[in-house]
Amino acid sequence: MYFLSVISALIALGQACPMHGLPDHVAAENNINVANLRKRGWVRPAPQKIAITNVHIFDGFEYDNQTSTVLIDGSFIGSDAANATIIDGKGATLMPGLIDNHNHPTTIADLKNLSSYGVTTTMCMSCWVATDHCESLRNQPGLTDFYSAGFSAVVPNSSHSKLAEMNPAVNAPEYFIYNSSMCPGWVKDRFNTGSDYIKLVAEAYPPSMTKDEHNIIVKTAHQYGYWTMTHASTLDTYNMAIESGTDIIQHTPADEPLSDASIAKILAGGHYVTPTINIYQYTQAATVSLGLTTEQTANLNQTVPSNVKRIYDAGIPILAGTDGSINSNGPADIYFGSSLHQELEMLNSYGVSNVDVLKAATSRAAVAYNMLDRGVIAPGMRADLLLVRGNPLVNISKTREIEKVWIAGIEYEG
């Protein structure tokens, strides 16, 4: 009992003050096996100071042609380099850790893969497995920081409800949308079960939610002060998303070129767009959920790049997301971590400049989700950092040349 209460007091302390680990003398006096606690993720490694010197910095906004020093002080970026361990960053670029704005991790192994590729924050766009399963991915010290929509707003028998029903751990019926009068309560349930934002699915073909249901869900979420994300992959569903006033539109219209009128409405509505180009590389998966004609499918490789370019050229803010998912929890096997680097390369090849591609996975993403403690290198921010060889402002693939990754100041090794 005594042992347990000491542990809970220490855990409470650790949470109140994340920069401080368990002091060695406290561990010794209480006969606490620190290594064992660390394995369970209860105790952070002792705070340390690391100075990365002689390094070029992409701070989330721009590349600094001069080299300088960045200090990791515990979980945060600091400013006093006294007594820090030095890492020579000559020839490298230090950038904010990457944010994958759309994926579906379900296991700790998925988070490890994300971490190893420098993805320090991940926005899960629906968890089709039991909600408490995804909850267990939160707050894992030293691993990718996990946020989730929980269960998406989908109607029974729709193409996306099938993804949920594939998983026997889900007692799906109680999560579905049946009519507009239940929508406010459904939104409330999401927040009461830990969702960070709401995900809606505008299906490309029936059955699908009505316009009323979309509008009510978005309006209710906004009343609670929460963001909404809408899956939309055709012109009609884009319009449904725009009219509902959703915050971030997920995917790219794949059936037809976006009209000038739609572009103007996206701009006027202040929507962000996460194109998720990765998913369109998996033609079969894409068309099963999109219901495209043979001709439209054959033209995917023209329609998607040109719509992404039109969105970008119009000045609509783009976010980088992959739709990463494996083991049947999503529409295709898109590997966690590596796919985000591929997304950055594809955005770049479609005409998005290097600096805008990097912002789409760092500072712009942090602003879009109101995560104002990250996405930028500056004193006081979370020490979510990625050290890469070379300059990704010149060659975007240099984000793959990873030397080191820190997540809230903890180096990811392995």
Q: How far is the CB of 193 from Zn ion (least distance, A)?
A: 19
Helix%, strand%, coil% for the chain, nearest 5: 40, 20, 40
Site string for ligand NAG, 41-80 (x = CB under 6 A): ----------------------x-x---------------
List residues near Zn ion by CB under 5 A: 125, 323
CB of 20 to ligand NAG, least distance (A): 15
Interacting positions 374-393 with ligand NAG (CB under 6 A): 391, 393
Site string (233-252) toward ligand NAG, x via CB under 6 A: --------------------
Helices and strands in the chain: count of H runs, count of E runs: 16, 15
For ligand NAG, the closer of residues 54 and 397 by Cβ is 397
C-alpha 77/C-alpha 57 separation (Å) is 13
For residue 294, state whether it binds ligand NAG (rule: CB under 6 A).
no
Nearest Cα to 391, choosing from 118, 94, 117?
94
- Which CB atom, from 65 or from 192, has the smaller least distance to ligand NAG? 65
| Structure-token pair, residue 141 | 């010290």
∠ Cα 169 171 173 (to 5°) = 150
| Exposure letters 194-211 (e unless 16+ CB within 10 A, then b) | ebbbbbbbbbbeeebbee
For the chain, how far is it from start to end, CA to CA, in angstroms?
37
Site for ligand NAG in 208-237 (CB under 6 A): none
Residue 262 vs 348, nearer CB to ligand NAG? 348
Dig out the tokens for 380 from the structure: 């006081």
Q: In what order do the strands lie in the sheet with 98-103?
A: 98-103, 119-124, 145-148
Nearer residue to ligand NAG within complex by CB, 75 or 322: 322
Cα–Cα nearest to 281, from 297, 263, 266, 267: 297
Size of the site for ligand NAG (CB under 6 A): 29
Task: Among 79, 157, 293, 328, indicate the residue that binds ligand NAG (CB under 6 A).
Answer: 157
Binding site for ligand NAG (CB under 6 A): 63, 65, 82-83, 109-110, 113, 156-157, 178-179, 181-182, 281, 283, 298, 300-301, 326, 335, 338, 391, 393-395, 397-398, 400-401
